[in-house]
Amino acid sequence: MKRAVVVILMGLIPFMAVRDAQAVSEAGVIFLLIAPGARPAGMGEAFVAVADDATATWWNPAGLGFQRGFELTLMHSNWLPQFHMPDLYYDFISYRQEVTELGTVGLNVIFINYGETMHTDEHGNELGTIHSYDAAITGSYSSMLSMDFSIGVNLKFIYSHLSEIGAGEERGSGIGSSFAVDVGLLRRNLFFRGLSFGANLSNMGPKISYIDVAQADPLPTNLKMGLAYKLLDGEYNKITLSTDVNKLMVVRHKNGSTDPFYQALVTAWFGEWLTKNVISNVGVEYWYSDLVGLRAGYWHDPDGKIFSTTFGASLKYANYKFDFGYLTAGQGHPVTDTMRFSLTFSF
């Protein structure tokens, strides 16, 4: 009965959370919200309460506190494959290591390449090419407060290189930088054994500006909360159910102004903003004898018009693991056929 109640709740929470959500994102450097890791991708991107590998540096730094030894994960994905642009891709590298009696530290690097575009003047004359990309580097620290409770924090530097020059008469360039902080918590065996709760408040920091401060955009501050439940945890067979709810904590008013992140943490819960900018995810993962993993999930984003089904698989041998994640959102959708590939080394 206890398991049945958990399964029902985890299936209903995300769909209740997205009801009436209609707003679109009004933040800058949205690449910070792209979920890394082929394994979480196969689970419908529901991973904040799992966070048990090196990708926890992005998903929930608190998850690092329960991990031992060290691990390195490399991920690559050709982004928006329906556009058939080979120079549009997303790369992610993450490393974590236990420090005896201090906790666990981690580091990740994100790089998304947008390719080259032709720069022209107002008369259409070609002036050369512009290479555009975004990048971020994050340092993580986590510590267990008890056998079942851990907290974590991230500090990240963000660099956005959209253009070396301004548009038209604008002075300056399309290059900006900022920094941000994430804080997370993970509580295992919540209420009863096998149920975990995770939360991560990410990308809290000053706005990023390119040409001038007056045109600065807020960072995509995001609150991610979720549950994970080990439905089966045997020696040879393991099944985990997970669900996440995301809320973008960005408030842009009709006059174009935006609230600073510390104010938006409050104002995003009132009035029309209460049900806006909400995304939900559900997923399931099956492992046989820690050798083969299978996954499926669902991603519900009404603002981005993404109603996606995901699948994934893993093969593990000794200290090496290969993960694959696949996403489809229907014929012709830009994210359909998105594939993520990860290679992980654990020692």
**CATH number for position 96:** 2.40.160.40
Taking residue 65's Cβ as centre, other Cβ atoms within 10 Å add up to: 23
The pLDDT assigned to 21 comes to 33
Cα dist. 2→9, 142, 186, 244 in Å? 11, 31, 21, 20
Res 10 pLDDT > 50: no
pLDDT digits (tens, 9 = 90+) for 36-54: 999 999 999 999 999 999 9
The pLDDT assigned to 335 comes to 83
Helices (H), the chain: 2-17, 38-42, 56-59, 261-267
What's the token pair of residue 320?
């090496």
Res 98 pLDDT > 80: yes
Of 73-77, 117-121, 177-181, minimum mean pLDDT range: 117-121
Number of domains, the chain: 1
The pLDDT assigned to 323 comes to 97
pLDDT digits (tens, 9 = 90+) for 259-310: 999 999 999 998 878 878 889 999 999 999 989 999 999 988 887 778 899 9
The pLDDT assigned to 166 comes to 59
The pLDDT assigned to 22 comes to 34
Torsion of CA 161, 164, 166, 172, to 10 degrees: 90
Residue range(s) defining the domain that contains residue 16: 2-346
The pLDDT assigned to 200 comes to 98
Res 14 pLDDT > 70: no
- The predicted model gives 132-151 an average pLDDT of 96
Taking residue 166's Cβ as centre, other Cβ atoms within 10 Å add up to: 14
What's the token pair of residue 59?
């998903």
Cα dist. 73→36, 92, 106, 321, 322 in Å? 10, 8, 11, 9, 10
The pLDDT assigned to 165 comes to 67
Res 93 pLDDT > 90: yes
Of 6-10, 103-107, 225-229, 251-255, minimum mean pLDDT range: 6-10
Cα dist. 140→65, 114, 137, 295, 334 in Å? 10, 27, 10, 27, 32
Q: Check: CB of residue 55 under 8 Å from CB of residue 93.
A: no
Which of 126-130, 192-196, 207-211 ranks highest by mean pLDDT?
A: 192-196
Res 252 pLDDT > 90: no
- Alpha-carbon Rg of the chain, whole angstroms? 20
The pLDDT assigned to 216 comes to 86
Q: Average pLDDT over the chain, rounded to whole?
A: 87
Percentage of the chain beyond pLDDT 70 is: 88
- The predicted model gives 159-176 an average pLDDT of 73
Three-state SS at 87: coil
Dihedrals phi, psi of 15, to nearest 5 degrees: -75, -30
The pLDDT assigned to 325 comes to 96
Q: Shortest CA distance to 297 belongs to which of 282, 278, 312, 280? A: 282
Distance CA 202, CA 157 (A): 13
